[in-house]
Amino acid sequence: MSDNSRNKTMVPEAKAAMNRFKMEAANEVGVQLKEGYNGELTSRQAGSIGGQMVKKMIKKYEQDLANGQ
């Protein structure tokens, strides 16, 4: 994520962790990202990364609910 992005991190302290999370999700779906701007990605690639991130967040939330957290 570049600093001039319109996508703002809700908790600024989490920006580095979110970038690592994005890179991990991209790797899991087979999309190679580079640090910084990745404007050459297709919509399908970007959607795959976002979808994987959402899938992982939902799984974590469900696990937390099941564990009473």
Taking only the tens place, the pLDDT of each residue in 11-40 is 989 999 999 999 999 999 999 999 889 999
Crossing angle of the two packed helices 15-28 and 43-66, in degrees rounded to 10: 110
In-domain check, residue 4: no
Look up the domain containing 24 and give its range: 12-66
In-domain check, residue 18: yes
The amino acid sitting at 23 is M
In-domain check, residue 40: yes
Specify the pLDDT at position 3: 55
Specify the pLDDT at position 69: 79
Distance between start and end Cα atoms, the chain: 30
In-domain check, residue 1: no
Per-chain mean pLDDT for the chain? 91
In-domain check, residue 41: yes
Pair 34, 3: CB distance under 8 Å = no
In-domain check, residue 25: yes
Specify the pLDDT at position 1: 45
Specify the pLDDT at position 58: 98
In-domain check, residue 62: yes
How many domains does the chain contain in total?
1
Task: Identify which has the larger pLDDT, 52 or 11.
Answer: 52
